[in-house]
Structure 1
Amino acid sequence: MKKKFGILTLALCLMLGAVGCSNGSSSSSSNSSSGSSSDASSSQSSGKEIELNISAAASLQEAMVEIEKEFKEVNPDVKLTVNLGSSGTLMQQIQEGADCDVFISAGAKQMDALVEDGTINKDDVKTLLINDLVLVAAKGEKIDSLDDLKSDSITKIAIGDPESVPAGKYAKEVLDNTKLYDAVQNKLVLGKDVKQVLSYVQQGAAQVGFVYLSDTHGVDDVDVVLTTDEDTHSEIAYPIAVLKDSKKTDAAKQFEDFLLSDAGQNILEKYGFKKAK
């Protein structure tokens, strides 16, 4: 009897010891797993790159290359993904749900539309810069004044589509206010954005075209024949705003502040833009 009791006691002890070892092993594994997960999360958090989506007017193309580089120097954890195009097209993309954190328009009309539909808060809109509208001509074309556009020697005049391209809208205003529109309407070649207008002149598809002064920066295969008078068109101002529904508001505002800072404004001036008044 004593022998049986001793055997039962030994068996019970062995069972309890096995359970204890199992629990200890499980607890140790759980703690190890928890620590590994926390370390991975911390590592991921510290090294995570924020991607900002910027929708910007096509005329900012060259300047944005340097802006991206300089902004990255002071904000290494922020990556800029820049979508360039006509302001009207960009506005439409945003209205249709395109991912965008910051919008830079070449005209007030497109920004106002996004304010009106609630995409952007009116108080968040700031003026980033101003620009001039110029008439460019292919090398060798003799243009002394806007009246020369009526000449039979000028058969193609490139402008942006006034419905969606702010530069085209300003160009039409110039032609309207100088009483030239009816005389040259049949000569107009419409571009999808201001860069296409410039390329039309460069490639010979048009003899002259209306573009921004900044678009002529570094371009030597066309001539700037005249700068349009400010009283012949609306003020050419570029508004900027962070979208209301941006999930990266802090980073978006950092980018906006950089553009409005002396460092950002100096870069923009290098590419032919002017500081806002």
Structure 2
Amino acid sequence: MTTNRRFVMGVAAALLFGFSANVATAQAQTKELVIFAAASLKNALDEAAAAWVKETGKPAPKISYAASNSLAKQLEQGAPADLFLSADLDWMDYAASKNLITPETRVSLLANRIVLVAPSDSTAQVALTPGVDLSAALGSGRLAMGNVESVPAGKYGKAALEKLGGWDKVKDKIAQADNVRAALLLVSRGEAPLGIVYATDAAAEPKVKVAAVFPEDSHPPIIYPVAVTKDATNPDAQGFLTYLRGAGPKAAFEKQGFTVLNRPANAS
């Protein structure tokens, strides 16, 4: 092979390599931001994401909503996501224990309440006081809740009823759902006379009304942590998390009934 021919081929190879590298870089930069978020965040997070897109000109993030336990397990199984927003501390702790998040990015972002809801035309009256018995209000129906062993809202609801001394009276009349929005749907459709959901879910669904609010001391604090995942590939992951902690999304979260905490995970 002549020197000139080797030179030409070398230049071509270099140009091809550079082109391939630029394509790879462009693809990495345009890859959509993927977010795993608790189902109860949908209304507020959709609004916050839309505002972020409008303000930054970035592509709309792809948000997958489900129960926190399901999302944590998906991460563990290798599902790609850049951010994880959980509806309780336990499932974020689980993700941390499996090395699925970047610990220094973790923030306790929001707080919530759980409430007892009924269809909007219901006449049920319930007082969530010690010794509460929901059997009469349920009649032949069931109490809609997230799965009481894994879904955060279900776990909080069971804990509250146990603290109030009402769990044993209704534990055989529970309709357990895969996530809190599914439990809300059962009540909004009139398929369940009562349900336990977050206050923010009740505010988002006009076909239900709040029958009673659980005392705050009847269950562990309801905290929503967020963190960048360990295998995040989108460079906007940290930027979006920072945006969620800012003034813009605060109004969206508060409008839906969340309390904005915005504190590092190790803060008291």
Normalised by the length of structure 2, the TM-score is: 0.84
> d(CA) in 1 for partners of 2:138 and 2:72?
37
In the other structure, the counterpart of 2:125 is: 143
- Match runs of 1:67-106 below 5 Å: 67-106=48-87
**How many angstroms apart in 2 are the aligned matches of 1:153 and 1:168?**
17
1:144 partner amino acid: V
Post-superposition offset of 1:71? 1.1
**Against the structure 1 CA distance between its residues 263 and 230, is the aligned structure 2 distance closer, same or farther, given a 3 Å change threshold?**
same
Matched residue SS, 1:253? helix
Q: Which 4+ stretches in 1 moved above 4 angstroms?
A: 29-48
With 256-265 and 152-161 compared, the bigger mean Cα shift is at 152-161
Structure 2 residue runs of 5 or longer lacking an equivalent are 263-268
Does the 8 A contact of 1:105 with 1:239 survive in 2? yes
AA matched with 1:141: T
The change in CA–CA distance for 1:172 and 1:268 in structure 2 (over 3 A counts) is same
Q: C-alpha separation between the residues in 2 aligned to 1:33 and 1:109?
A: 52
- Name the counterpart of 1:134: 115
Q: Distance in 2 between matches of 1:98 and 1:36?
A: 32
Residue in 2 that maps onto 1:256: 241
- Give the paired residue count: 254
Q: Is the 8 A contact 2:48 2:248 kept in 1?
A: no
1: CA distance between counterparts of 2:22 and 2:170? 65
Structure 1 residue 53, shift from structure 2 partner: 1.0
CA distance in 2, matches of 1:98, 1:46: 22
2:158 maps to which of 172, 178, 181: 172
Partner of 1:273: 258
Q: Is the 8 A contact 2:133 2:169 kept in 1?
A: no
1:197 aligned residue (165, 183, 196): 183
Q: 1:76 to 1:42 in 2, by over 3 A?
A: farther
Q: Is the CA contact (8 Å cut-off) linking 2:101 and 2:228 kept in structure 1? A: yes
Alpha carbons 1:52, 1:252 under 8 Å: kept: yes
For 1:10-89, list aligned pairs within 5 A: 48-89=29-70
C-alpha distance 50-202 of structure 1, shift in aligned 2 (>3 A): same
- Residues 32 and 244 (structure 1), Cα distance of their counterparts in 2 relative to 1, 3 Å cut: closer
Aligned partner of 1:227 in structure 2 is: 213
Aligned residue for 2:91, secondary structure, equals: helix
TM-score (norm 1): 0.81
Distance change in 2, residues 1:32/1:97 (3 Å): closer
User: What is the aligned-residue identity percentage?
Assistant: 30
The CA RMSD over aligned residues, in Å, is 2.7
> Distance between the aligned counterparts of 1:37 and 1:122, measured in 2?
36
Q: Residue type matched to 2:244 in 1?
A: L
Which stretch shifts more, 264-273 or 137-146? 137-146
The verdict on how the C-alpha distance between 1:34 and 1:57 changes in structure 2, with shifts beyond 3 A counting, is same
- Which protein shows a greater Rg? 1
The CA distance in 2 between the partners of 1:73 and 1:234, in whole Å, is: 37
Distance in 1 separating the partners of 2:211 and 2:104: 39
Code of the aligned partner of 2:135: K
Distance 1:152 1:252, change over 3 A: closer
Aligned mates of 2:35, 2:227 — CA distance in 1: 10
